[in-house]
Amino acid sequence: MRKIYFVFIILSITLHFFFCTASGLSEILGEESARAEFAFVAKLGPNSAVLSWNCSHPAKGTMYTSDGILPSIQSSKTHFLEWKHLNVNTSYRVILTCGSQKIEEGSVLEFTTWISNDPPKTRGIWILGGIGNDGLPIKEVDLFDPVAEIWYSSITNIPSPRILASIIHHKNKIYIIGGMENISGTYISSSKVEVYDPYADVWETKSSLPSGSIGAVAGSVGDEIYILSGSNSSDMTNGPVFNTIIKFYPELGISGQWISFSSASTIFSRVDMSGCAINGIIFYTGGRTYNSGSANSSTDGFAASANTTTSFSEPSLGESKHGAAGVCILPSSQDPFPADGVYFAVVGGSTGSGNVFQPATFIIPTNRTEFYQLGSSSFSLGPSLPSSLYFPAVQTSYETRKIFSFGGASSINIPENTVYSLDSGNPLGSAWATHSLPMPRRRYSHKAIRIDR
């Protein structure tokens, strides 16, 4: 019995040693042969990112970052690691490995942190200003998220509602500059400047304009905001802006500072031109001549750094008009389709002439759209809008690869709430489609802007 007992013990020890050795050997071989795969950003925010990746065999994981090496202690096929203390709106690169895999063989992930914890405000399209059904300025600000296809109605209210103001984004804030206020049923010129911070949800009053500004062209270039042309009177013939540039330094002092100076070359003396800024050039086209109200088709560009118009000849529109939506389409390297074309687009408007009052009392809406691709020699005729619209608002969703047209007037003081969309990847070869979600309210002579560019 003792001999049998001894053999049993030896056999048990041998079997135990065999299985433990086999298990340990399997873990060692797994660590050596494991490779990172299926890597992705599991969670992203403004100051952190959670990275996930799979290993081909159970193994410990390692994340190599610009801040150092972050190990995943547990041996597993799936790993999640959080990289903290990142900067907002910044591009990062990480390398992910498994087991004893070499760093040059790891999976590479690149990502850009959010500007805020509220991405709809960054990627969304803000609808501000305009004239409503009652002929009065609209105070409500609406936000459209084209990715989730959601409207956020009355997300905030403009403290001093105005029409024909210069509404522009500058360094992730929204500026409402000048325009006209309705006082006791009468429109008067305004020099007010109000600024909205979407992330803080706070309005602030800045230094007033040196004089009123109605129907002007605005552009954000570097650290400054530029205002070109327009009028300072409801009767354009009484208060045209002749060749004067008004520049605002928002960060100078407590409330910012305005300065006025003359351009070294002639700026069109018109109101209600279409315009926007691309790479330091403020493009503008169309509009009504101050002393006759005649519609125009000629185009020019103001180079802010040189204080003069550009030396090359910008093309004219195919038709003379005013009150058209103008938008600059400028994809960035971080967009889903960075190779799409750079355009100055002009949509809708009125071909009517002879009216010298603000707001206009006579219009002939058009459904024509035109696209000037930078580097080309002419505006190209784009697809017609489904309806003729005066003063719609247009903006691009780079995430969904669509250009959106919002509202506009089908006739004098008859605003619409229809939304149309167009393929921004092929704007000349596609057609406008009616979007299923109309605007929360009817309006025209408003603006549609993004705050991230």
- Can you name the CATH fold of 119-449? Neuraminidase (2.120.10)
Q: Which is nearest to 400 in space by CA: 417, 385, 422?
A: 422
Q: Is the pLDDT of residue 11 over 60?
A: no
* Tens digits of residue pLDDT in 253-285: 999 999 999 999 999 999 999 999 998 999 999
pLDDT classification of 311: cutoffs 50, 70, 90: confident
Q: Is the pLDDT of residue 21 over 50?
A: no
Specify which residues 395 forms β-bridges with: 404
Specify which residues 403 forms β-bridges with: 396, 422
Q: Does domain 34-112 have CATH number 3.30.429.10?
A: no
The confidence score (pLDDT) of residue 29 equals: 58
Averaged confidence pLDDT in the chain: 91
* Tens digits of residue pLDDT in 349-394: 999 999 999 999 999 999 999 999 988 999 999 999 999 999 999 9
The confidence score (pLDDT) of residue 73 equals: 83
* Tens digits of residue pLDDT in 215-224: 999 999 999 9
Q: Which two tokens stand for residue 190?
A: 């305004």
**Residues 389 and 410: beta-carbon distance below 8 Å:** yes
Q: Is the pLDDT of residue 10 over 50?
A: no
The confidence score (pLDDT) of residue 13 equals: 37
More confident residue, 311 or 289: 289
Name the residue type at position 228: L
The confidence score (pLDDT) of residue 335 equals: 86
Q: Is the pLDDT of residue 136 over 80?
A: yes
Q: Is the pLDDT of residue 312 over 80?
A: no
The residues spanned by each domain of the chain are: 1-29, 34-112, 119-449
Q: Is the pLDDT of residue 319 over 60?
A: yes
Q: Is the pLDDT of residue 348 over 50?
A: yes
Specify which residues 340 forms β-bridges with: none
Q: Which two tokens stand for residue 263?
A: 């351009």
**Residues 380 and 370: beta-carbon distance below 8 Å:** yes
